[in-house]
Structure 1
Protein backbone atom coordinates (compact mmCIF):
# COMPACT_ATOMS: atom_id res chain seq x y z
CA UNK A 1 0.00 0.00 0.00
CA UNK A 2 1.14 3.55 -0.66
CA UNK A 3 2.61 5.34 2.38
CA UNK A 4 -0.07 8.06 2.13
CA UNK A 5 -2.61 5.43 3.29
CA UNK A 6 -0.86 4.79 6.60
CA UNK A 7 -3.38 5.38 9.38
CA UNK A 8 -6.16 6.10 6.86
CA UNK A 9 -9.57 4.42 7.20
CA UNK A 10 -11.69 6.56 4.84
CA UNK A 11 -10.75 7.53 1.28
CA UNK A 12 -12.85 10.21 -0.43
CA UNK A 13 -12.59 10.63 -4.20
CA UNK A 14 -13.43 13.38 -6.61
CA UNK A 15 -15.15 12.09 -9.76
CA UNK A 16 -14.53 14.12 -12.93
CA UNK A 17 -10.85 14.26 -13.80
CA UNK A 18 -9.95 11.83 -11.02
CA UNK A 19 -11.91 8.64 -11.64
CA UNK A 20 -13.44 9.42 -15.05
CA UNK A 21 -12.68 11.48 -18.12
CA UNK A 22 -16.17 12.93 -18.66
CA UNK A 23 -15.27 15.97 -20.76
CA UNK A 24 -16.22 14.43 -24.13
CA UNK A 25 -19.83 13.97 -23.00
CA UNK A 26 -19.93 17.24 -21.07
CA UNK A 27 -18.71 19.13 -24.13
CA UNK A 28 -21.44 17.68 -26.33
CA UNK A 29 -24.11 18.79 -23.84
CA UNK A 30 -22.55 22.25 -23.42
CA UNK A 31 -22.36 22.82 -27.15
CA UNK A 32 -25.94 21.66 -27.73
CA UNK A 33 -27.14 24.04 -24.99
CA UNK A 34 -25.21 26.91 -26.54
CA UNK A 35 -26.57 26.10 -29.98
CA UNK A 36 -30.11 26.29 -28.57
CA UNK A 37 -29.29 29.85 -27.52
CA UNK A 38 -27.79 30.93 -30.82
CA UNK A 39 -24.20 30.67 -29.62
CA UNK A 40 -21.42 28.78 -31.37
CA UNK A 41 -20.23 25.68 -29.51
CA UNK A 42 -16.88 25.98 -27.78
CA UNK A 43 -15.56 22.44 -28.29
CA UNK A 44 -14.02 19.79 -26.07
CA UNK A 45 -10.66 21.54 -25.68
CA UNK A 46 -12.19 24.65 -24.15
CA UNK A 47 -14.63 22.75 -21.93
CA UNK A 48 -11.74 20.74 -20.49
CA UNK A 49 -10.43 23.92 -18.84
CA UNK A 50 -13.80 24.87 -17.35
CA UNK A 51 -14.78 21.72 -15.43
CA UNK A 52 -14.53 21.53 -11.66
CA UNK A 53 -16.80 24.11 -10.06
CA UNK A 54 -20.18 22.63 -10.84
CA UNK A 55 -22.56 22.84 -13.79
CA UNK A 56 -23.72 26.42 -13.21
CA UNK A 57 -20.15 27.70 -13.34
CA UNK A 58 -19.43 25.54 -16.39
CA UNK A 59 -22.25 27.16 -18.37
CA UNK A 60 -21.33 30.62 -17.14
CA UNK A 61 -17.78 30.14 -18.41
CA UNK A 62 -18.98 28.78 -21.74
CA UNK A 63 -21.40 31.65 -22.32
CA UNK A 64 -18.85 34.26 -21.26
CA UNK A 65 -16.21 32.76 -23.56
CA UNK A 66 -18.64 32.74 -26.47
CA UNK A 67 -20.06 36.24 -26.03
CA UNK A 68 -17.28 38.11 -24.26
CA UNK A 69 -19.53 39.13 -21.39
CA UNK A 70 -21.17 37.72 -18.28
CA UNK A 71 -24.52 36.19 -19.30
CA UNK A 72 -27.78 37.70 -18.11
CA UNK A 73 -29.28 35.60 -15.30
CA UNK A 74 -32.21 34.42 -17.41
CA UNK A 75 -29.93 33.35 -20.27
CA UNK A 76 -27.58 31.60 -17.88
CA UNK A 77 -30.41 29.69 -16.23
CA UNK A 78 -32.01 28.73 -19.52
CA UNK A 79 -28.72 27.47 -20.96
CA UNK A 80 -28.01 25.57 -17.75
CA UNK A 81 -31.38 23.82 -17.89
CA UNK A 82 -30.73 22.87 -21.51
CA UNK A 83 -27.33 21.50 -20.54
CA UNK A 84 -28.82 19.37 -17.76
CA UNK A 85 -31.36 17.99 -20.21
CA UNK A 86 -28.81 17.06 -22.86
CA UNK A 87 -26.24 15.69 -20.44
CA UNK A 88 -28.88 13.65 -18.64
CA UNK A 89 -29.79 12.01 -21.95
CA UNK A 90 -26.25 10.79 -22.62
CA UNK A 91 -23.77 11.00 -19.73
CA UNK A 92 -21.89 7.82 -20.62
CA UNK A 93 -21.40 7.72 -24.39
CA UNK A 94 -17.72 8.72 -24.45
CA UNK A 95 -16.91 8.90 -20.73
CA UNK A 96 -14.17 6.50 -19.65
CA UNK A 97 -12.48 5.36 -16.44
CA UNK A 98 -8.86 6.43 -16.13
CA UNK A 99 -6.27 3.68 -16.09
CA UNK A 100 -5.78 2.15 -12.66
CA UNK A 101 -9.08 3.37 -11.22
CA UNK A 102 -10.93 0.06 -11.16
CA UNK A 103 -7.94 -1.77 -9.72
CA UNK A 104 -7.52 0.79 -6.93
CA UNK A 105 -11.21 0.87 -6.00
CA UNK A 106 -11.50 -2.92 -6.04
CA UNK A 107 -8.49 -3.38 -3.75
CA UNK A 108 -9.38 -0.57 -1.33
CA UNK A 109 -12.97 -1.77 -1.06
CA UNK A 110 -11.83 -5.36 -0.61
CA UNK A 111 -9.44 -4.38 2.18
CA UNK A 112 -12.18 -2.70 4.17
CA UNK A 113 -11.51 0.98 3.55
CA UNK A 114 -14.60 3.17 3.72
CA UNK A 115 -14.96 4.88 0.33
CA UNK A 116 -16.87 8.06 -0.47
CA UNK A 117 -17.39 10.25 -3.52
CA UNK A 118 -17.54 14.05 -3.31
CA UNK A 119 -18.03 15.82 -6.63
CA UNK A 120 -19.33 19.21 -7.71
CA UNK A 121 -21.31 17.46 -10.47
CA UNK A 122 -25.10 17.49 -9.83
CA UNK A 123 -26.03 14.49 -7.71
CA UNK A 124 -28.55 13.15 -10.24
CA UNK A 125 -25.74 12.21 -12.64
CA UNK A 126 -23.62 10.25 -10.16
CA UNK A 127 -25.64 7.03 -9.99
CA UNK A 128 -25.99 6.49 -13.76
CA UNK A 129 -22.23 6.90 -14.23
CA UNK A 130 -21.26 4.60 -11.36
CA UNK A 131 -23.79 2.01 -12.50
CA UNK A 132 -22.41 2.12 -16.04
CA UNK A 133 -18.98 1.16 -14.74
CA UNK A 134 -20.19 -1.29 -12.09
CA UNK A 135 -18.86 0.81 -9.22
CA UNK A 136 -22.00 1.69 -7.26
CA UNK A 137 -21.35 -0.84 -4.48
CA UNK A 138 -17.86 0.50 -3.80
CA UNK A 139 -19.03 3.78 -2.25
CA UNK A 140 -20.76 4.12 1.08
CA UNK A 141 -21.71 7.75 0.43
CA UNK A 142 -21.87 9.96 -2.66
CA UNK A 143 -22.31 13.74 -2.50
CA UNK A 144 -22.95 15.99 -5.50
CA UNK A 145 -22.50 19.71 -5.81
CA UNK A 146 -26.16 20.20 -4.92
CA UNK A 147 -26.31 17.71 -2.03
CA UNK A 148 -25.39 20.34 0.58
CA UNK A 149 -25.53 24.15 0.66
CA UNK A 150 -21.74 24.17 0.19
CA UNK A 151 -19.52 22.49 -2.36
CA UNK A 152 -15.75 22.16 -2.87
CA UNK A 153 -13.48 24.00 -2.26
CA UNK A 154 -15.56 24.57 0.88
CA UNK A 155 -14.53 21.85 3.37
CA UNK A 156 -18.12 21.25 4.56
CA UNK A 157 -18.83 18.26 2.26
CA UNK A 158 -15.69 16.48 3.42
CA UNK A 159 -16.46 17.14 7.07
CA UNK A 160 -19.95 15.79 6.42
CA UNK A 161 -18.44 12.59 4.99
CA UNK A 162 -16.17 12.13 8.01
CA UNK A 163 -19.13 12.54 10.38
CA UNK A 164 -21.25 10.15 8.34
CA UNK A 165 -18.67 7.38 8.75
CA UNK A 166 -17.80 8.34 12.33
CA UNK A 167 -14.17 9.01 11.38
CA UNK A 168 -11.69 11.48 12.79
CA UNK A 169 -10.49 13.77 10.00
CA UNK A 170 -6.94 12.56 10.61
CA UNK A 171 -8.09 9.12 9.42
CA UNK A 172 -9.37 10.54 6.12
CA UNK A 173 -7.77 11.03 2.71
CA UNK A 174 -9.04 13.28 -0.11
CA UNK A 175 -8.06 12.20 -3.63
CA UNK A 176 -8.52 14.65 -6.49
CA UNK A 177 -7.16 16.27 -9.61
CA UNK A 178 -7.59 19.98 -8.90
CA UNK A 179 -6.68 22.75 -6.53
CA UNK A 180 -10.31 22.76 -5.34
CA UNK A 181 -9.97 19.17 -4.14
CA UNK A 182 -6.67 19.79 -2.40
CA UNK A 183 -7.88 23.03 -0.83
CA UNK A 184 -11.09 21.40 0.42
CA UNK A 185 -9.14 18.46 1.82
CA UNK A 186 -6.58 20.60 3.58
CA UNK A 187 -9.23 22.89 5.09
CA UNK A 188 -11.21 19.88 6.30
CA UNK A 189 -8.14 18.42 8.01
CA UNK A 190 -7.87 15.49 5.58
CA UNK A 191 -4.63 14.15 4.16
CA UNK A 192 -4.51 14.94 0.41
CA UNK A 193 -3.44 13.04 -2.68
CA UNK A 194 -3.44 14.42 -6.24
CA UNK A 195 -3.39 12.91 -9.71
CA UNK A 196 -1.85 15.03 -12.51
CA UNK A 197 -3.95 13.91 -15.47
CA UNK A 198 -7.29 15.60 -14.76
CA UNK A 199 -8.84 19.04 -14.98
CA UNK A 200 -7.17 21.90 -13.12
CA UNK A 201 -7.85 24.90 -15.33
CA UNK A 202 -4.58 24.43 -17.19
CA UNK A 203 -2.45 24.60 -14.03
CA UNK A 204 -0.26 21.83 -12.57
CA UNK A 205 -2.01 20.41 -9.51
CA UNK A 206 1.39 19.98 -7.86
CA UNK A 207 1.36 23.74 -7.29
CA UNK A 208 -1.37 23.15 -4.69
CA UNK A 209 1.14 21.16 -2.62
CA UNK A 210 -0.83 17.97 -1.91
CA UNK A 211 0.61 15.60 0.68
CA UNK A 212 1.33 13.08 -2.09
CA UNK A 213 0.92 12.55 -5.83
CA UNK A 214 0.57 9.44 -7.99
CA UNK A 215 0.59 9.13 -11.77
CA UNK A 216 -2.09 6.43 -11.57
CA UNK A 217 -4.43 5.42 -8.75
CA UNK A 218 -3.11 1.89 -9.17
CA UNK A 219 -0.03 3.13 -7.29
CA UNK A 220 -2.17 3.39 -4.15
CA UNK A 221 -2.45 -0.38 -3.89
Structure 2
Protein backbone atom coordinates (compact mmCIF):
# COMPACT_ATOMS: atom_id res chain seq x y z
CA UNK A 1 0.00 0.00 0.00
CA UNK A 2 1.36 3.41 -0.97
CA UNK A 3 1.31 6.50 1.24
CA UNK A 4 -2.03 8.27 1.27
CA UNK A 5 -2.02 11.61 -0.53
CA UNK A 6 -5.81 12.04 -0.71
CA UNK A 7 -8.79 9.68 -0.49
CA UNK A 8 -9.79 8.09 -3.79
CA UNK A 9 -13.19 9.25 -4.98
CA UNK A 10 -13.27 8.13 -8.62
CA UNK A 11 -11.95 5.27 -10.73
CA UNK A 12 -11.08 5.19 -14.43
CA UNK A 13 -11.17 1.67 -15.89
CA UNK A 14 -9.64 0.53 -19.18
CA UNK A 15 -11.60 -1.81 -21.47
CA UNK A 16 -9.54 -4.14 -23.71
CA UNK A 17 -7.33 -6.43 -21.64
CA UNK A 18 -8.69 -5.06 -18.35
CA UNK A 19 -12.42 -5.79 -18.34
CA UNK A 20 -12.82 -7.69 -21.60
CA UNK A 21 -10.79 -10.26 -23.54
CA UNK A 22 -11.34 -8.80 -27.00
CA UNK A 23 -8.46 -10.32 -28.97
CA UNK A 24 -10.71 -12.99 -30.57
CA UNK A 25 -12.84 -10.21 -32.06
CA UNK A 26 -9.76 -8.33 -33.23
CA UNK A 27 -8.50 -11.49 -34.91
CA UNK A 28 -11.78 -12.01 -36.76
CA UNK A 29 -12.11 -8.40 -37.94
CA UNK A 30 -8.46 -8.05 -38.93
CA UNK A 31 -8.53 -11.26 -40.93
CA UNK A 32 -11.67 -10.11 -42.71
CA UNK A 33 -9.78 -6.96 -43.67
CA UNK A 34 -6.65 -8.89 -44.66
CA UNK A 35 -8.67 -11.27 -46.85
CA UNK A 36 -10.05 -8.32 -48.79
CA UNK A 37 -6.47 -7.19 -49.41
CA UNK A 38 -5.41 -10.67 -50.51
CA UNK A 39 -3.31 -11.29 -47.39
CA UNK A 40 -2.94 -14.42 -45.28
CA UNK A 41 -4.70 -14.51 -41.90
CA UNK A 42 -2.93 -13.64 -38.66
CA UNK A 43 -3.26 -15.51 -35.35
CA UNK A 44 -4.21 -14.28 -31.90
CA UNK A 45 -0.57 -14.64 -30.82
CA UNK A 46 0.34 -12.07 -33.45
CA UNK A 47 -2.56 -9.75 -32.66
CA UNK A 48 -2.32 -9.70 -28.85
CA UNK A 49 0.86 -7.59 -28.44
CA UNK A 50 -0.47 -5.09 -31.00
CA UNK A 51 -3.66 -4.26 -29.06
CA UNK A 52 -4.05 -1.11 -26.98
CA UNK A 53 -2.72 1.79 -29.01
CA UNK A 54 -5.83 2.53 -31.05
CA UNK A 55 -7.25 1.26 -34.32
CA UNK A 56 -4.97 3.31 -36.57
CA UNK A 57 -1.82 1.89 -35.01
CA UNK A 58 -3.30 -1.63 -34.97
CA UNK A 59 -4.06 -1.53 -38.69
CA UNK A 60 -0.64 -0.17 -39.57
CA UNK A 61 1.16 -2.73 -37.41
CA UNK A 62 -0.80 -5.60 -38.92
CA UNK A 63 -0.19 -4.37 -42.46
CA UNK A 64 3.52 -3.89 -41.72
CA UNK A 65 3.87 -7.67 -41.70
CA UNK A 66 3.39 -7.59 -45.48
CA UNK A 67 3.75 -4.03 -46.78
CA UNK A 68 6.36 -1.28 -46.62
CA UNK A 69 5.47 2.19 -45.34
CA UNK A 70 4.54 3.57 -48.77
CA UNK A 71 2.24 0.66 -49.52
CA UNK A 72 0.61 0.95 -46.09
CA UNK A 73 -0.12 4.63 -46.72
CA UNK A 74 -1.59 3.78 -50.11
CA UNK A 75 -4.06 1.18 -48.79
CA UNK A 76 -4.65 2.55 -45.30
CA UNK A 77 -8.01 4.21 -45.95
CA UNK A 78 -9.34 1.08 -47.65
CA UNK A 79 -7.96 -1.15 -44.89
CA UNK A 80 -9.43 0.99 -42.12
CA UNK A 81 -12.87 1.09 -43.74
CA UNK A 82 -12.77 -2.68 -44.21
CA UNK A 83 -11.64 -3.32 -40.63
CA UNK A 84 -14.33 -1.05 -39.17
CA UNK A 85 -17.02 -2.73 -41.26
CA UNK A 86 -15.94 -6.19 -40.14
CA UNK A 87 -15.53 -5.17 -36.49
CA UNK A 88 -18.93 -3.54 -36.25
CA UNK A 89 -20.49 -6.68 -37.74
CA UNK A 90 -18.95 -9.00 -35.12
CA UNK A 91 -18.35 -6.63 -32.18
CA UNK A 92 -18.58 -8.67 -28.98
CA UNK A 93 -19.39 -11.99 -30.65
CA UNK A 94 -16.26 -13.70 -29.33
CA UNK A 95 -15.38 -11.28 -26.52
CA UNK A 96 -15.52 -12.56 -22.93
CA UNK A 97 -15.43 -10.94 -19.52
CA UNK A 98 -12.33 -11.45 -17.41
CA UNK A 99 -13.01 -13.00 -13.96
CA UNK A 100 -14.55 -10.83 -11.24
CA UNK A 101 -15.17 -7.80 -13.46
CA UNK A 102 -18.87 -7.43 -12.61
CA UNK A 103 -18.21 -8.20 -8.95
CA UNK A 104 -15.39 -5.66 -8.94
CA UNK A 105 -17.51 -2.91 -10.50
CA UNK A 106 -20.26 -3.65 -7.99
CA UNK A 107 -17.74 -3.36 -5.14
CA UNK A 108 -16.41 -0.07 -6.48
CA UNK A 109 -19.93 1.33 -6.84
CA UNK A 110 -20.79 0.15 -3.31
CA UNK A 111 -17.94 2.34 -2.01
CA UNK A 112 -19.63 5.36 -3.58
CA UNK A 113 -16.86 5.79 -6.14
CA UNK A 114 -17.61 7.53 -9.43
CA UNK A 115 -16.72 5.34 -12.40
CA UNK A 116 -15.47 6.18 -15.87
CA UNK A 117 -14.31 3.96 -18.72
CA UNK A 118 -11.46 5.32 -20.83
CA UNK A 119 -10.35 3.16 -23.75
CA UNK A 120 -8.36 3.63 -26.94
CA UNK A 121 -11.04 1.63 -28.78
CA UNK A 122 -13.17 3.87 -31.04
CA UNK A 123 -16.29 5.03 -29.22
CA UNK A 124 -18.52 3.47 -31.90
CA UNK A 125 -17.09 0.08 -30.89
CA UNK A 126 -16.79 0.71 -27.14
CA UNK A 127 -20.31 1.93 -26.36
CA UNK A 128 -22.26 -1.02 -27.81
CA UNK A 129 -19.71 -3.47 -26.42
CA UNK A 130 -20.13 -2.14 -22.88
CA UNK A 131 -23.90 -2.43 -23.23
CA UNK A 132 -23.75 -5.92 -24.72
CA UNK A 133 -21.59 -7.23 -21.87
CA UNK A 134 -23.70 -5.65 -19.11
CA UNK A 135 -21.10 -3.05 -18.14
CA UNK A 136 -22.59 0.19 -19.43
CA UNK A 137 -24.72 0.91 -16.36
CA UNK A 138 -21.69 1.13 -14.07
CA UNK A 139 -20.09 4.06 -15.89
CA UNK A 140 -21.28 7.66 -15.87
CA UNK A 141 -18.52 8.65 -18.32
CA UNK A 142 -17.14 6.76 -21.33
CA UNK A 143 -14.40 8.05 -23.63
CA UNK A 144 -13.10 6.19 -26.66
CA UNK A 145 -9.84 6.69 -28.48
CA UNK A 146 -11.49 9.12 -30.89
CA UNK A 147 -13.61 10.99 -28.32
CA UNK A 148 -10.95 13.60 -27.59
CA UNK A 149 -8.02 15.19 -29.42
CA UNK A 150 -5.51 12.72 -27.95
CA UNK A 151 -5.66 9.19 -26.56
CA UNK A 152 -3.67 7.27 -23.93
CA UNK A 153 -0.74 7.36 -23.14
CA UNK A 154 -1.46 11.08 -23.36
CA UNK A 155 -2.99 12.23 -20.05
CA UNK A 156 -5.75 14.26 -21.74
CA UNK A 157 -8.56 11.65 -21.40
CA UNK A 158 -7.81 11.12 -17.71
CA UNK A 159 -7.57 14.83 -17.01
CA UNK A 160 -10.89 15.30 -18.81
CA UNK A 161 -12.50 12.75 -16.50
CA UNK A 162 -11.05 14.58 -13.47
CA UNK A 163 -12.65 17.78 -14.76
CA UNK A 164 -15.93 16.00 -15.45
CA UNK A 165 -16.19 14.69 -11.89
CA UNK A 166 -14.67 17.86 -10.38
CA UNK A 167 -11.92 16.01 -8.53
CA UNK A 168 -8.19 16.54 -8.23
CA UNK A 169 -6.15 13.86 -10.06
CA UNK A 170 -4.78 12.70 -6.68
CA UNK A 171 -8.34 11.60 -5.84
CA UNK A 172 -8.62 9.43 -8.95
CA UNK A 173 -7.13 6.02 -9.70
CA UNK A 174 -6.80 4.38 -13.10
CA UNK A 175 -7.04 0.60 -13.53
CA UNK A 176 -5.50 -0.89 -16.65
CA UNK A 177 -3.42 -3.66 -18.14
CA UNK A 178 -0.73 -1.76 -20.00
CA UNK A 179 2.00 0.87 -19.93
CA UNK A 180 -0.39 3.15 -21.85
CA UNK A 181 -2.67 3.30 -18.81
CA UNK A 182 0.19 3.84 -16.37
CA UNK A 183 1.93 6.52 -18.43
CA UNK A 184 -1.32 8.43 -18.87
CA UNK A 185 -2.11 8.18 -15.16
CA UNK A 186 1.36 9.25 -14.04
CA UNK A 187 1.32 12.23 -16.42
CA UNK A 188 -2.15 13.22 -15.18
CA UNK A 189 -1.18 12.89 -11.51
CA UNK A 190 -3.52 9.96 -10.84
CA UNK A 191 -2.84 6.73 -8.99
CA UNK A 192 -2.70 3.61 -11.17
CA UNK A 193 -3.27 -0.10 -10.57
CA UNK A 194 -2.32 -2.82 -13.06
CA UNK A 195 -4.01 -6.15 -13.74
CA UNK A 196 -1.62 -8.97 -14.75
CA UNK A 197 -3.77 -10.90 -17.22
CA UNK A 198 -4.08 -8.35 -20.04
CA UNK A 199 -2.04 -7.50 -23.10
CA UNK A 200 0.54 -4.76 -22.30
CA UNK A 201 1.96 -4.89 -25.82
CA UNK A 202 3.48 -8.30 -25.10
CA UNK A 203 5.70 -7.02 -22.25
CA UNK A 204 5.73 -8.08 -18.55
CA UNK A 205 3.39 -6.07 -16.33
CA UNK A 206 6.12 -6.05 -13.68
CA UNK A 207 7.93 -3.50 -15.84
CA UNK A 208 5.04 -1.02 -15.54
CA UNK A 209 5.41 1.90 -13.13
CA UNK A 210 2.21 1.48 -11.13
CA UNK A 211 1.05 1.69 -7.53
CA UNK A 212 0.37 -2.04 -7.44
CA UNK A 213 -0.50 -5.16 -9.40
CA UNK A 214 -3.98 -6.43 -8.51
CA UNK A 215 -5.37 -9.83 -9.52
CA UNK A 216 -8.71 -8.47 -10.74
CA UNK A 217 -11.08 -5.51 -10.68
CA UNK A 218 -12.46 -6.98 -7.45
CA UNK A 219 -8.96 -6.98 -5.95
CA UNK A 220 -8.58 -3.38 -7.09
CA UNK A 221 -11.76 -2.50 -5.18
CA UNK A 222 -10.27 -4.09 -2.04
CA UNK A 223 -7.01 -2.15 -2.58
CA UNK A 224 -8.92 1.13 -2.84
CA UNK A 225 -10.99 0.34 0.25
CA UNK A 226 -7.83 -0.33 2.26
CA UNK A 227 -6.15 2.78 0.86
CA UNK A 228 -9.08 4.99 1.83
CA UNK A 229 -9.25 3.41 5.28
CA UNK A 230 -5.56 4.24 5.73
CA UNK A 231 -6.23 7.80 4.61
CA UNK A 232 -8.99 8.11 7.20
CA UNK A 233 -6.72 6.80 9.96
CA UNK A 234 -3.98 9.22 8.94
CA UNK A 235 -6.41 12.15 8.95
CA UNK A 236 -7.72 11.21 12.40
CA UNK A 237 -4.18 10.84 13.75
CA UNK A 238 -3.21 14.25 12.41
CA UNK A 239 -6.34 15.82 13.90
CA UNK A 240 -5.60 14.29 17.31
CA UNK A 241 -2.10 15.74 17.22
CA UNK A 242 -3.59 19.21 16.81
CA UNK A 243 -5.85 18.83 19.84
TM over 0.5: yes
Residue equivalent to 1:109: 109
Q: Give SS of 1:60's match.
A: helix
Runs of 4+ in 1 over 6 A off after TM superposition: 2-6
Residue equivalent to 1:49: 49
Q: 1:198 and 1:43 mapped to 2: Cα distance?
A: 17
1:136 aligns with 2:136: yes
Greater mean alpha carbon deviation, residues 200-209 or residues 162-171:
200-209
Q: 2:43 and 2:206 mapped to 1: Cα distance?
A: 27
Residue equivalent to 1:24: 24
Q: 2:118 and 2:33 mapped to 1: Cα distance?
A: 26
Aligned residues: 219
Q: CA deviation at 1:80?
A: 1.0
Residue equivalent to 2:150: 150
Q: 2:199 and 2:127 mapped to 1: Cα distance?
A: 21
* Within-5 A mapping of 1:155-174: 155-174=155-174
Q: 1:209 and 1:45 mapped to 2: Cα distance?
A: 25
Q: 1:7 and 1:101 mapped to 2: Cα distance?
A: 23
Q: Give SS of 1:192's match.
A: strand
Q: 1:73 and 1:180 mapped to 2: Cα distance?
A: 25
Residue equivalent to 1:201: 201
Q: 1:72 and 1:21 mapped to 2: Cα distance?
A: 28
Q: CA deviation at 1:45?
A: 1.3
Contiguous gaps of at least 5 residues in structure 2:
223-243
Q: CA deviation at 1:34?
A: 0.8
| Per-residue Cα deviation, 1:174-199 (whole angstroms, up to 9, x for no partner) | 11100111000000000010011111
Q: Give SS of 1:66's match.
A: coil
Q: Please tell me whether the aligned partners of residues 104 and 216 of structure 2 are also in contact (alpha carbons under 8 angstroms).
A: no
Residue equivalent to 2:124: 124
| Per-residue Cα deviation, 1:23-59 (whole angstroms, up to 9, x for no partner) | 0011100011011011111121101110011011101
Q: Give SS of 1:201's match.
A: helix
Q: 1:184 and 1:154 mapped to 2: Cα distance?
A: 5
Q: Give SS of 1:174's match.
A: strand
Q: CA deviation at 1:72?
A: 3.1
RMSD of aligned alpha carbons: 1.6
Q: 2:2 and 2:216 mapped to 1: Cα distance?
A: 15
Q: Please tell me whether the aligned partners of residues 115 and 138 of structure 1 are also in contact (alpha carbons under 8 angstroms).
A: yes
Q: Please tell me whether the aligned partners of residues 103 and 218 of structure 1 are also in contact (alpha carbons under 8 angstroms).
A: yes
Contiguous gaps of at least 5 residues in structure 1:
none
Flag the structure with larger Rg.
2
Q: CA deviation at 1:90?
A: 0.9
Q: Please tell me whether the aligned partners of residues 116 and 139 of structure 1 are also in contact (alpha carbons under 8 angstroms).
A: yes
Q: Please tell me whether the aligned partners of residues 153 and 180 of structure 2 are also in contact (alpha carbons under 8 angstroms).
A: yes
More helix by share: 2
